[in-house]
A and B are shown apart, each in its own frame.
Chain A
Amino acid sequence: MTGPVQVLVVGFERPAFSGEVMAEFTRLRDAGLVRLVDLLVVRRTADGAIETTAAPDDVDGDLGRLAAAVLGRPEGEADEGDGADDAPPDVPVWSLADAVPPGTAAAVALIEHVWAEPLMSAIRRAGGTPLDETWLAPADLAALDGAEEPR
């Protein structure tokens, strides 16, 4: 793994391995930009339990194994303490249970941003220290679009 890995959780009424989405991941990988590390489909029952959904027959049977191992553990399996359960209280944490509401389904993608590693290395070499990062909200994005329009 060379680049930072993003966890993208997307809700679906009916989770499906869309050919269009997978084709886009293929295009991004071929361009050396983004690599889909793994994709897991989960369903959260009304009582809050999270079930993984088996991959369709025409998809790699190993799909979802890595994501499941990183994001959770099979019920009944001992906790190996590799999560953030023992993190100091001021360390922000999250879990799939925070992200997926009960009674819904979601696709969880682990996405490696291959393009970012050279940039991050250059920033470190320049002595830069990460202070904060976020995404622009839609309203701020619209403001940016407006500001970028040719005068």
Chain B
Amino acid sequence: MLLVPKQLRRAGMTGDVPYYGGRLSPAQAYAASHPARRPSPSPSASPRRPVPAPEADTLAALRHLLDAGVISEAEHRQLQARVTR
């Protein structure tokens, strides 16, 4: 029989404790979607280059985590949705 897998919630033995299986913890996911501000370049720095939006950095980091197998496609979609909403 061909089985279409369901998406099931992860839980721990003690209840609704998220089990992350070595992947992103809530703190890591928050950090991924809230990158630290970089120090501004000094006014004398030239020529002035366009600064990429923090969102672009985060999405690139998420893409790297997906490509490296750290997060699954589903987790990538969830985190991407957090960053872009």
Residues of A at the B interface (CB closer than 8 Å) are: 4, 6, 42, 49-52, 68, 70-75, 77, 79, 82-85, 87, 89-98, 113, 116, 120, 123, 130-134
Given A73-B3, A74-B1, A94 contacting B10 (CB threshold 8 A): yes
In the complex, whether B47 has a CB less than 8 A from a CB of chain A is no
Q: Are A113 and B13 in contact (CB under 8 A)?
A: yes
A75 touches B12 (CB 8 A): no
Residues B10 and A95 in contact, CB atoms below 8 Å apart:
no
Binary contact readout B11-31 vs A (1 if CB under 8 angstroms, 0 otherwise): 011111111110000100100
Q: In the complex, given contacts A79-B4, A96-B5, A133-B13, what are 12 additional A-B residue pairs having Cβ atoms less than 8 angstroms apart?
A: A50-B2, A52-B1, A68-B1, A71-B3, A71-B6, A72-B3, A85-B7, A93-B9, A98-B72, A116-B13, A120-B13, A120-B15
Residue pairs across A and B with Cβ atoms less than 8 A apart, 22 shown, are A50-B3, A51-B3, A68-B1, A70-B6, A71-B6, A72-B3, A73-B6, A75-B4, A84-B7, A84-B8, A87-B9, A90-B26, A90-B29, A91-B10, A91-B18, A93-B9, A94-B8, A130-B15, A131-B17, A132-B12, A133-B17, A134-B20
| Nearest CB of B to A6, in Å | 7
Contact A96 B3 (CB under 8 A): yes
User: How many residues of B sit at the interface, in one of the four size bands?
Assistant: 20 to 34
